[in-house]
Amino acid sequence: MDGTAELTFVEELGRIIADGGFVMPPLVVFAVLLWLGIGYRAMTLHRGSGLPVRTILSNAISGSITRTKGYVDTAAVVAAETARRARGDLRRVLDEELFFIDERLSRYRTLVRTIVVIAPLAGLLGTVTGMIEMFQSLGDQTFYSQSGGVANGISQALLTTQFGLMIAIPGMIVGRLMDRREDSMHAEIVQIKELIVSQRGEKSA
């Protein structure tokens, strides 16, 4: 029974893709790439311990953190080690040493945002193309015999827009949640840099 249900789902999906025309295969690819990007961000955007930033940094400086569990923990450990051996402009050195964390934090963010924007536009393109073909068919009345009526043709033409919105709306909501998580951790990493620089200034004074 499960096998039959899976086969029916695949057949129905194939029919929808075929009805949607040339835009549907790219939309399917967009959907796969979107949720791969979101899935990666959901699995990797971890802060680490739930302690305040000052406590995390203090533990990193004292060597109490033996295993990092997230980006903020890692940033604190790297920043503490950098401060111990850095000479000259500490802020510039910290920016260089922690750049890899910023890069990992933002990985696939642009991909998700791009697909969220492109998917509805691609769906609209499919709808416009379908409507043009429908009105051309009405000219010689071939559309009725091929598709069973104007209403059915309009339904098929709107299918791509519906599919594009089904991709974009959940992707936008979940993507924004991931963006907020990233922005929060980025702000904490900036705070770690400022605390390290201020501590060195206090020691120098």
Q: What is the pLDDT of residues 183-202, one digit of tens each?
A: 999 999 999 999 998 887 65
Q: Per-residue confidence at 42, pLDDT binned at 50, 70, 90?
A: very high
More confident residue, 9 or 27: 27
pLDDT at 142 over 80: no
DSSP 89-111: -HHHHHHHHTHHHHHHHTTTHHH
Q: Please give the Cα distance from 18 to 126 (Å, whole number).
A: 12
Residue 132 CA to chain centroid, in angstroms?
Answer: 34
Q: Tell me, what amino acid is at 32?
A: V
Q: Per-residue confidence at 144, pLDDT binned at 50, 70, 90?
A: low
Q: Per-residue confidence at 1, pLDDT binned at 50, 70, 90?
A: very low
At residue 133, the pLDDT reads: 74
Which of 44-58, 139-153, 182-196 has the lowest average pLDDT? 139-153
Look at residue 45 and give its three-state secondary structure.
coil
CB 24 within 8 A of CB 17: yes
pLDDT at 21 over 80: no
pLDDT at 53 over 50: yes
Burial class (CB in 10 A: 0-12, 13-18, 19+), 155: middle
Instruction: State the average pLDDT over residues 157-185.
Output: 93
Quote the percentage of the chain above a pLDDT of 70.
81
Q: Please give the Cα distance from 197 to 191 (Å, whole number).
A: 10
Q: What is the pLDDT of residues 67-118, one digit of tens each?
A: 888 999 999 999 999 988 877 788 899 999 999 999 999 999 999 999 999 9
pTM for this one? 0.80
pLDDT at 4 over 70: no
